[in-house]
A and B are shown apart, each in its own frame.
Chain A
């Protein structure tokens, strides 16, 4: 079976979800990524990446508790599936192997 593809931006969002653990809901993911990437992101881009990955089976989600700050609306907490963790690991391995094979940088 063909592996479901993971885009570059999707990979970043997925890793952020893993990093944030129980805090991984829309706004927090956006804030964290904006800090790390040092650029402004739209809610739309984050949300579409989340929904797409949920459809592909990289993420699961459930409603968290409501808070006063959000006008009484509940957060949705995202969690990476084991499959997602495996895919992330594979991608990292492929990358580090490629890094090791790159002559210019390896000799430095």
Chain B
């Protein structure tokens, strides 16, 4: 290049670009061509234009055929390798069809489990994220302190909501609701189609509620629908249930002797929200919510914050404001100053929970439906990973075990000039094919098992193949291929060709050590799950069969909306008593498992120690019908007026620090501060009126004569050997005659008591499914491995047989090692599982079993039995084969 050309040479950046992308063998020719054209252009046009033309030509040269790495000839080579790899892979997988099938089956089961569990967890952690401005909303929880304990509730006193909003500028909006009020009788009477009566759960919400949560309205406006008393908003599905295709706006529903005007219809709430309701009534319908209340928790309160508000400093402000409002009232009620009250160990703290954490809060702060559990979500992820680990281990085990069988092939390949990378890519292709077909199969499995999984999880989720999922699955296939394929691939590529051809190879002590520890870990996982299953099962059976202190068998409970109608209750009790199948009957407001229990403050006469006790209100004969046993004194009597008498349970006597309680006085401190004195007439032996998670807490039993003989339940003790179905239909027809407006609803006390433990029942079925799955996976792996071990020991077995070993000797020889491995994993795992169950799970029950030897022995025999059955096929086959078949080749 001459010096004169320098200022007029082609633009350097496009020359660089050209040299970058153009295939190097074309570079000299095309660069020359371009330069020649550039020179011509320089003669014709300005420098600027010539350079522009040059740039344009370079850009136009970017074509596949001229660009590096894109030519068809280079592609062909890679394609051929890939084709070769695929072909060889298919042949190998086909030849070892048993191993391939075990790998694919195991992996796809595991991946399907993984997908199910992860979809579940994803759904659990997506709660309330759809609510607009969810990150600025919080729910206020209340931590109430008593002298010897504190309790967390979801409710705060309703007047605080407005007070907080006006005191604290960072709070832009509030919303409150009360309820749900369970089983309210709603009826709609239309002119032509008769009446529709159903028991429903109703929420009382304030005027802000709908717009606060951005609930979409189909009819009516979210701002005004709940403004006026006796307004009601329905969800779309409830509107259809009562009104069908008619427009519900302006129609009325009757509830508790009040007419409610339908002012709006909102969309059904999504499943993944802790809000769940069918009916909203305006909260100002209920009079007590229109009166000032800073002390009794009665509403759930949500606040919306300004962007960027710090939660910690806000909690301080909220507490300060709340205490300012509550202290005067508390002082008035208790007759002591706020600081005295606090010094005695009483008081409260408000705390703020972000909206998206409400559902998973350990104390179920949501309250409208059962809360989720962060802990069980973590367990799910853990189990998903375990199952997945099991299948991966199987797969790695099998492929490394097969290394020996492939040694000759690899040796030959190496001698013919294969590079290590080519061998690795061959093995990776095989792994890829197994993983890919497993993922495909697992999608099918997920689809097929969706229904049964939903039964287990209690959700209605579906798995959809959207783009992120597909991308996720593909990256999963890639990662899985590398993780499970790389180690066997490297092992294979390291084989020494000379040794393999000569037939001198061994899997190596290292290889077998690792394989053995993988098998042990697989069995350990299986053992943990099986043992947990038996422990959960035992605890559940223990809880269901435990003597609760009352007789829950043959005890019929009628429920309904009749607590305002004691006359009906009395006459119906009379009807029931006249039936020969019925032993005794009582009405009651409180019933274990069905509510209603109160918490009230009591003290001894002439004492200042205030004790917070649970109380229940029952009808005459309730204690007799329930089969409660009396420690001393007497029960309520039918012919005496008991409104100033109380029964205590043993714990209450202890909590009140009384001796000789019979005949003494008990003072209740009412919410308005007035004392009310009762006479203790009897002490009842402690009975479990709550779930067995908790110790029996002190209980005061009052007569329902304190509130006009009201009863919301009727309990009837049936005689033994009564035909239940016949009796129910008899009671039902009587009910329909005497109470046509109310649907007939009944429960049995033993079912009610068992329904506490739904969570444990579900846990048990989860453990059942996953312990079976893990055992199946472990056995699949073992089956493959035993085939491999048997094939390695063929010669040894042959020689032993020639020398004179019998069938049983051979069986023992082949199953000894695996048996020891299972026993070893048992010894390792059982203490761990035992400790984990003791500390994490059984701790949660006040009444619990201790893990005995029985579940451990059952687990051991199940696992050992399965192990032997699994290896039986190969050991017996090896033991039966004629030794000549594998000795004559030498």
Contact = CB atoms under 8 A, between A and B. Distances in A.
Interface in B7-36: 26, 28-36
Given A44-B66, A63-B29, 13 more contacts: A26-B29, A27-B36, A30-B37, A43-B57, A44-B60, A44-B62, A45-B60, A48-B63, A48-B65, A48-B66, A51-B65, A75-B29, A75-B32
Interface string A54-96: 0100000001000001111111100000000000000000000
26 contacts: A25-B33, A26-B30, A27-B33, A30-B33, A42-B56, A42-B61, A43-B37, A43-B60, A45-B60, A47-B26, A47-B30, A47-B33, A47-B61, A47-B66, A48-B65, A48-B66, A51-B65, A55-B73, A63-B28, A69-B39, A71-B31, A72-B1, A73-B28, A73-B32, A73-B35, A75-B29
Given A27-B37, A42-B60, A45-B60, A74 B29 contact: yes
B246 interface: no
Contacts of A51: 26, 65-66
A81 to B, nearest CB: 18
A73 B1 CA distance: 11
B37 A71 contact: no
A74 B37 CA distance: 14
A63 B28 CA distance: 10
B608 interface: no
A74 B60 contact: no
Interface string B28-71: 11111111110100000000000000001100111101100000
B313 interface: no
B72 interface: yes
Nearest to B2: A68
A73 B31 CA distance: 8
Interface of B: 1, 26, 28-37, 39, 56-57, 60-63, 65-66, 72-73
Nearest to B22: A47
Interface in A1-56: 25-27, 30, 42-45, 47-48, 51-52, 55
Contacts of A72: 1
A71 B63 CA distance: 24
A26 B33 contact: yes
Q: Which 6 A-B pairs have the closest CB atoms?
A: A73-B32, A44-B60, A70-B32, A26-B33, A76-B29, A42-B60
A70 B36 contact: yes
B26 A74 contact: no
B660 to A, nearest CB: 110
Contacts of A27: 33, 36-37
A73 B26 CA distance: 11
B32 A44 contact: no
A25 B29 CA distance: 9
B60 A71 contact: no
B581 to A, nearest CB: 93
A25 B30 CA distance: 10
A52 B65 CA distance: 7
Consensus secondary structure, chain A interface? helix
A47 B31 CA distance: 11
Contacts of B34: 43
Contacts of B31: 71, 73
Consensus secondary structure, chain B interface? helix
Contact of A44 (B29, B39, B63): B63
Nearest to B64: A48
Contact of B35 (A44, A48, A71): A71
A83 B868 CA distance: 73
Contacts of B26: 47, 51
A74 B65 CA distance: 21
B23 to A, nearest CB: 9
Nearest to A49: B65
A69 B1 CA distance: 10
Interface residues of A, number: 22
Contacts of B35: 69-71, 73
Contacts of A25: 29, 33
B28 to A, nearest CB: 5
A43 B61 contact: yes
B28 A74 contact: yes
B70 to A, nearest CB: 12
A45 B63 CA distance: 9
Contacts of B36: 27, 69-70
A59 to B, nearest CB: 13
Contacts of B65: 48, 51-52, 55
Contacts of B60: 42-45
Nearest to B37: A27
A5 to B, nearest CB: 15
A52 B34 CA distance: 19
B12 to A, nearest CB: 13
Contacts of B29: 25-26, 63, 73-76
A38 B31 CA distance: 25
Contacts of B1: 71-72
Contacts of A30: 33, 37
A4 B417 CA distance: 36
A72 B34 CA distance: 12
Nearest to A73: B32
A69 B33 CA distance: 10
Contacts of A42: 56-57, 60-61
B595 to A, nearest CB: 83
A97 B659 CA distance: 127
A26 B73 CA distance: 22
B30 A43 contact: yes
Nearest to B59: A44
A70 B5 CA distance: 12
A48 B60 CA distance: 10
A6 B62 CA distance: 22
Contacts of B61: 42-44, 47
Contacts of B32: 70-71, 73-75
A6 to B, nearest CB: 16
A30 B60 CA distance: 14
Contacts of B73: 55
A107 B72 CA distance: 48
A72 B101 CA distance: 65
A35 to B, nearest CB: 14
A69 B31 CA distance: 12
A71 B29 CA distance: 11
Nearest to B40: A27
A71 B62 CA distance: 22
A22 B218 CA distance: 83
A107 to B, nearest CB: 45
Contacts of A74: 28-29, 32
Nearest to B62: A44
A47 to B, nearest CB: 6
Contacts of A70: 32-33, 35-36
A70 B30 CA distance: 10
B510 to A, nearest CB: 52
B33 A44 contact: no
A43 B62 contact: no
A72 to B, nearest CB: 8
Nearest to A70: B32
A27 B28 CA distance: 13
- Of B30, B32, B72, B73, chain A has the most CB atoms within 10 Å of the CB of B32
Contacts of B33: 25-27, 30, 43, 47, 70, 75
A69 B35 CA distance: 8
A24 B31 CA distance: 17
Contacts of A55: 65, 72-73
